[in-house]
Amino acid sequence: MDIDLARTFLEVAQSGSFVAAAERLHVTQSTVSTRIRQLEELLGGRLFVRNKAGASLTPAGAQFQRHAVAMVRIWEQARQEAALPPGHRAMLRIGSEAGLWNRLLHRWIPWMRRNARDIALRCEVGLPDGLANALREGVLDLAVCYSARSLPGLRVRLLCEEELVLLSVEGRDSGAADDDYVLIDWGEDFRRQYRLHNVDAPMPPLSISMGTLGLDYLTQCGGTGHFPKALAQPLLDAGIARVVSEERPYSLPIYAIHPADADASVLEPAFAGLRAIVGG
C-alpha cells in the first residue's frame, strides 16, 4: 500500500476535515478524496462519514487508525535506518519548541555527542501540535514541549517544573500601566493559569510566543513579563531588572513525549542527558 494513503488517512482523522488535511499535506482536496477512496477500496469498507461539520471515523476507520499509525512509524524507522551514518547504532530524531532549544536543548546536543557518540541525531523545531503529530506518525522519536497532548500510543514524562518570576525591567513594577505587561506564551498550562489568575482583566496588547524574544523586547523597551528565573538571571545580575513578588506564582512544566514502544536503549541516554541539563 502507498504510504501516502496512510498519511492522508491520519491527517483527515486528526483534523476531522478533508479540507484541513489537504492544507496540511499541501495537496488539493480532490487528491485527499481520491486517496481516501483508494484506501477504502483496498480495505473494502468506508473509513469516514462526511457531513457539514467535516469528517468523522466510522467503526472500521477507528479500527484502522492504530494500524495506520504503526505503518507510518515503521516506514519512517526503516527509512532512517537505511540512511544511518557509518559507525552509529541508531538514529534519534528529536523535536522541540524554539524557546526550549534556545534555553535548554542547545546544551543537550553537545552532551549527547560526548556521552552517546554511537547515536546519530536529527534535531527539529516545531509547534506542539505538529510535534505530537510527528511522534504519532513516526517522524520523531522524542519531543520536548511546554505542553503535552495525550494521544494514543504516546507516553508523556514530566521532566521538570520551573517557577516563573514576574520580571520588571528599567524600574517598572507591579503598579505599572497595563500596557507595560508583555504576555509570553509559555504553552497551554501557562495560558490556563493566566486565565484563572486574570479572570476579569483585559488581554495585554502585546503577546510574544517565544520567551527569548520577549526578554529581548523588555531589555530594549522595558516592562514586565513572566520568565523562568534562570533565563532572566543575566538581567538580574546586571542590575537592569528585578523580580516583583507575587501572591500566586506561576509554574512552568516541561514535558518529554515519545512513542510508548520506543527503543529504550536509544531513549535512556537521551533522558540521561536531559536530566543532566535540567539538573545543571
Q: Where are the domains of the chain?
A: 3-81, 90-157+254-279, 161-253
What would the mean pLDDT of 37-43 be, rounded to a whole number? 92
pLDDT at 104 over 70: yes
Question: Any idea what DSSP says for residue 180?
Answer: G
Instruction: Tell me the helix, strand and coil percentages in the chain, rounded to 5.
Output: 50, 25, 30
pLDDT at 149 over 80: no
- pLDDT tens for 185-225 read 888 888 888 888 888 888 888 999 888 888 889 988 889 99
Q: What gap in Å lies between CA 142 and CA 138, rounded to an integer?
A: 10
Return the CATH fold of 90-157+254-279.
D-Maltodextrin-Binding Protein; domain 2 (3.40.190)
Of 32-46, 72-86, 144-158, give the range with the top mean pLDDT: 32-46
Q: Which CATH architecture has domain 3-81?
A: Orthogonal Bundle (1.10)
Q: What is the largest CA-CA distance in the chain?
A: 69
What would the mean pLDDT of 26-36 be, rounded to a whole number? 93
pLDDT at 80 over 70: no
Per-residue cell: 55? 469528517
Bridge partners, residue 183, by sequence: 207
Cα four-point dihedral sign 102, 148, 53, 48: positive
Per-residue cell: 232? 532572566
pTM here is: 0.64
Mean of the per-residue pLDDT values for the chain? 87
pLDDT at 267 over 70: yes
Question: Any idea what DSSP says for residue 181?
Answer: B
* 90-157+254-279 shares its CATH topology with 161-253: yes
- pLDDT value at position 3? 87
CATH class of the 161-253 domain in this structure? alpha beta
Which are the contacts of 84, defined by CB distance < 8 A and separation ≥ 6? Answer: 90, 91, 120
Contact between 118 and 87 (Cβ < 8 Å): yes
Per-residue cell: 191? 495560558
Q: What gap in Å lies between CA 116 and CA 83, rounded to an integer?
A: 19
Alpha helix positions (H), the chain: 3-15, 18-25, 29-43, 59-82, 98-100, 106-115, 128-136, 188-197, 211-221, 229-237, 264-279
With H, G, I as helix, E, B as strand and everything else as coil, classify residue 104.
helix
